Structures are given as C-alpha cells and as structure tokens.
Amino acid sequence: MTETSLPSDLSTVPEAETARKSRWSLQLVWLVPLIAALIGGWLMVSSILNQGPVISIVFKNAEGLEAGKTKLRYKDVEIGKVTEVTLSRDLKQVVATAELTKDFKPYLVKDTAFWLVTPRISGGNVSGLSTVLSGAFIGVGVGKSDQAQRSFNALDVPPVIQVDTPGREFVLRSNDLGSLSAGSPIFFRRVQVGQVVAFDLDKDGQGLSMRIFVNAPYDQFVTDNTRFWNASGIDIKLGASGIEVNTQSLASILLGGIAFETPADSVERPAAAADSLFELFNGRTTAMHNPERDVLKMVMLFNESLRGLTPGSPIDFQGVTLGEVSDIRVEMDPSSHSIVMPVEVSLYPERLRLRSRDKNRAKLSDEARKQFLEGMVANGMRAQMRTGNLLTGQLYIALDFFPDVDKATINWGSDLPELPTVPGRMEEIQASLKSIASRLEKLPIEQIGTDLRQTLQAASGLLNRLNTQVTPQIVAALTEARQAVGSAQGLISANKPLLQDTHEAIRELGRTAKSLRSLADYLERHPEALIRGKQEDQR
C-alpha cells in the first residue's frame, strides 16, 4: 500500500476555513409544498366563488327523486342537480336538497315554482313522455317577485301557464265547476285563446273562483262588459220557440271549455285589467241577455196545470216579448181551504213606450204606466197560457185582448200587483169536450139503438120483397127488350138492297148539283152564252 508523504514544514500548509451560509436561504425542497398549498387555496377559493346556490324543495313523496341523478331543468336546459333526499322531521313529507348553477341565483325568488315532471295526461294533452327513457326530472318556472327565497314547496301538477307567457289572468265566479278542470280551453269566436289555470272552492262552500289565462294579443278583447259562459259539451235548449243547439268545438264537447264574447251593441271600452272579476254564465243565451234596468214585478193566478211552464218562459204580446216568468210557487189559501199556484213574472216597462212625437215623453212614468195597464185590462187584456211547442210541450204566457170576458181590474193591494187571467186554449177545448160528453150522456142511446134496429129490420124486409116480387118482372122486361132489338136488326137486314140504291141515288144527286154549280159559274162569267151559245175558243 502506498503511503502519502507529508511535507516536512507544516507551517507552509494553508489553514482550512468553514464557509458561512445565509440565514434566510430557502431550501429547494420547500418550494413544492408551498406551490401545492397555493394551488389548493386557489382551487378552494375558485370553488367557493363558482359554487351555485343550495335550495330545499319539499315534496309529498320521493317518487322519481334520486340523489345525484335527478336533475333540475328550465326550458329543457339543465340548471342543477339533487344532492340529497331526506324525510322531514314529522315524517309526512320529503325534502330534496339541490344545488343550482351560479347564474340561476337571481331567479330564486318567492314565486319561483318547482314540480316533478313525469308522464301525464291532462286536459287532452300528453306531456312528459321523454321521462320514460331518461327518468323524471324537476321542472322550474321562474317567478317575478323581488323577494329572494331558498325553501320551496313543489307543485302537485305542472303549471298550466308559465310565468313568462304573455297575456293576462282573470277571475270567474260560478256556482259549480261542471265539466271544467285545470287546462280546459278558453274560446273566442271558436278559436282557442287561453286555458283555465286553477280553481278554488269558497270557504262557505256556496261557490268557487276560477282563474283563467288569455294569451296575448287576444287578452285585449276582454273588456269590463265581456260575457263568459260555460261552453262544455252540447248546449241544447228546449223552449217555446223550438230546439236550439250550440257548441264550440269537438274539444269542448269532450273536455269542456269556456267561451267569451262582448255584446255587439256595447260601447267601445278599453281592455279589462288583470285579475278583473267576471261572472260565468251557464250558456250563451243567458250570458248575452241584456239585463233590464227597469223591471215591474207582478203575479198571475191560473186555475190549471202549469206543467210545461218554467222560470224563464217568455211573456208574449202579439209576438213581442215583454217579460219572462220569474218564479212558480205553490201556496195554501186558508180562507178557501184550497191550493193556489201564483206565477211571479217580470215585465219590462221600458219596452212599452207612449206613441208621442215628443221623445222626452216617450218613456212611461210610474203613474202613467199604472193607468196604461189599467186601461188595457179594462179593454179586455188578460194573461193566458198557451202552448209554444207541441213537440216539447213548453208553455208561455200570452197577453191578449178578449172582448167577451167579464170586467176585472188589477189588484194593486196585494204583495205584488195581480194581473187578471183567462183559461188557456187547452182548457177551453177540454171544457168543450166535457160539455159534449155531458150532452152525449143525456141522449137515449138505448132507445135510439132499438129504433135503429127496427128500422134496419124493416129495410131488410123491404129488400126481401123487392127481390121476390120485382125481380121476375125486371127479367121479363129485359127479355122483351132483347126481342125488340132483334126484330129491329132483322128489319135492317131485309132492307139492305134498298139502302144501297138510296145511297147510289144520293151520290148521283151530288154529281148533278156539282154540274149545275159549274154551269151557274160559267153563265155568271159569260151571260151572252144564253143567246149565242158556247164559243169554240171558250171550249
């Protein structure tokens, strides 16, 4: 092994010195965790800044809901996802926690709606068929409120109209819903212009309110004088004027619907404001009927059957409707121990006007109206029930003049003025038939039958005598007549040659007459021929 030799003089060897490092020098190995911490912090801040709002939606049950899979969609665009599904504290509902995108945060307001989209058939429309393959999702409807909210109650059914749909909502009042439902169509001139949105039963149960939506621009046709009526099914009215059939469309027959129209004679008015209240009538005839501003209530007493007379039956005066039946009652009269059936009617005095050149005096005052009716009753005007339609048996009340009736007056002292009446035509016919029947009962039918039988027997004997006595004589007379005819024919046959000669003589006489006529014509033209004779050149 080789050894290194050391120098003999160690003083000449330089002294080693230790190098001092800086106190703040950074080791390279610490840069990696520092950079990782910075990146992690940046990712955390970025995640917090980009994190969308978290909301809770309450459902009745968890059918169709699945954490991590059920999505939230607005106009078929995904805006969030359900992250958790739990039960409420009272175990009656289900709370779905969902995280939405950051951009949708401003639209989480009080009236924003959420509902579960599944296959559904409602109002003749089929929706949600795409969920059969893709699964159920939560639909979202943006609200218009300014109040932010993070907890919502899901709708049981999807809203009929989205919040951003242009148009206006109105409220209809009705006694019952009929065949209408949410989604039933609204028609204007048989064109669908809207839908029924929802309905609420009154707390007292006496009626209901119905919210409808009319799409723009058709909502401008709804004014404060617009009339709405139930156009469901086929409207068949059997009245004194016949059968009237009305319908809107096949959809309204199957699904029900509402129609509206503004009377043509109404003054032009601006469009009705949103949430305006209207009455829902049962039919178009009732809806378009102009209400009478002046109504005179009267009562009529009839001593006959009122079958076929109903409230709404017209009161006619020579073809002009002057009122209608308001009510039919049955009352007991304790004084006579009988039952009377007063018919309460509504007369429209505005349809009666004085014949006057002064238009200011054309309208009847109360006193003039009273005197006018008294005068008409004094002249024989009475109320009479008549048959308006033989097919339906509907009756109406006619005001007519009967000159032979007993005198009567209007009883103004009763609760309602009582107008005198006369029996109906059917009652008169029945009375006549009853009179005829009573007279027939008085006839001696048995005596007449006996006399008739004796007369027939006498006639039968006479015929038998004629057959036995007269018939042989008639036969003999016919035989003699036949013999006389035969003798005449024999005489004619015997004189047949004479008849031929006579016929020939007649023919000769005809030719002679013709020759004489020719001679007379010639002599008339040539009278000199009697002296000179007939010339050769004339021959």
Q: What is the pLDDT of residues 337-395, one digit of tens each?
A: 788 889 999 888 777 665 544 555 555 677 777 888 888 888 888 988 888 777 777 88
Q: Considering only CA atoms, which of 95, 89, 85 is closest in space to residue 59?
A: 95
Residue 536 pLDDT exceeds 70: no
Those residues whose C-beta lies under 8 Å from the C-beta of residue 87, and which sit 6 or more positions away, are 93, 94, 95
Confidence at 279, pLDDT banded by 50, 70, 90: very high
**Averaged pLDDT of the chain:** 79
- The CA-based dihedral angle spanning residues 422, 427, 429, 433, taken in that order and rounded to the nearest 10 degrees: -130
* 346 CA to centre of own chain: 26
Largest interatomic CA distance in the chain: 230
Q: In Å, what is the CA distance from 487 to each residue of 272, 394, 491?
A: 114, 81, 6
- Identify the burial level of 58 via C-beta atoms within 10 angstroms of its C-beta, where 0-12 means exposed, 13-18 middle and 19 or more buried: middle
Q: Considering only CA atoms, which of 188, 196, 193 is closest in space to residue 123?
A: 196
Residues in the chain: 539
3-state secondary structure 51-72: CCCEEEEEECCCCCCCCCCCEE
Residue 537 pLDDT exceeds 80: no
Q: Where are the alpha helices (DSSP H) in 127-262?
A: 131-134, 250-255
Contact 169/190 with Cβ under 8 angstroms?
A: no
Please give the residue that has the higher pLDDT: either 346 or 295.
Answer: 346
Question: Of the spans 15-24, 48-57, 123-132, 399-408, which averages the highest pLDDT?
Answer: 399-408
Contact 299/416 with Cβ under 8 angstroms?
A: yes
How many Cβ atoms are within 10 Å of 437's Cβ, its own excluded? Answer: 9
Confidence at 121, pLDDT banded by 50, 70, 90: low
Q: Does the bond joining 217 to the residue before it have cis omega, within 30 degrees of 0?
A: yes
User: What pLDDT sits at residue 334?
Assistant: 81
What angle, 0 to 180 degrees and rounded to 10, lies between the N-to-C axes of helices 496-525 and 471-494? 60
- CA Rg, the chain, in Å? 57
Q: pTM of this prediction?
A: 0.54
> In 3-state terms, the chain is what percent helix, strand and coil (to 5)?
30, 30, 40
Backbone angles phi, psi at 186, to 5 degrees: -110, 130
Mean pLDDT calculated for residue range 396-400: 90
- Identify the burial level of 322 via C-beta atoms within 10 angstroms of its C-beta, where 0-12 means exposed, 13-18 middle and 19 or more buried: buried
**Buried/exposed 203-218: b ≥16 CB within 10 Å, e otherwise:** eeeeebebbbbbbeeb
Residue 1 pLDDT exceeds 50: no
Is residue 535 helix, strand or coil? coil
Return d(Cα 225, Cα 247) in angstroms, integer.
22
Confidence at 443, pLDDT banded by 50, 70, 90: confident
Q: Left if phi > 0, otherwise alpha if psi is -120 to 50, otherwise beta: which for 60?
A: alpha
Tokens of 45: 């801040």
DSSP letters along 99-118, please? EE-GGGGGG-BTT-EEEEE-
> Which of 130-139, 186-195, 428-437 has the weakest average pLDDT?
428-437
Confidence at 254, pLDDT banded by 50, 70, 90: low
Contact 67/84 with Cβ under 8 angstroms?
A: yes
- Identify the burial level of 223 via C-beta atoms within 10 angstroms of its C-beta, where 0-12 means exposed, 13-18 middle and 19 or more buried: middle
Residue 531 pLDDT exceeds 80: no
Is residue 270 helix, strand or coil? coil
Return d(Cα 450, Cα 412) in angstroms, integer.
61
Mean pLDDT calculated for residue range 138-154: 89
Strand boundaries in 334-485, DSSP class E = 338-340, 342-347, 381-387, 395-401
Return d(Cα 219, Cα 167) in angstroms, integer.
6
Side-chain-facing half-sphere of 129: CA atoms under 13 Å: 5
Q: What is the pLDDT of residues 152-200, one digit of tens each?
A: 999 888 887 877 789 999 999 998 888 888 888 899 988 899 999 888 8
Return d(Cα 492, Cα 486) in angstroms, integer.
10
Return d(Cα 451, Cα 468) in angstroms, integer.
26
Q: What is the 8-class DSSP label of residue 181?
A: -
Q: What is the pLDDT of residues 40-84, one digit of tens each?
A: 777 777 766 667 889 999 999 988 898 989 999 998 899 999 999
Is residue 119 helix, strand or coil? coil
How many Cβ atoms are within 10 Å of 354's Cβ, its own excluded? Answer: 13
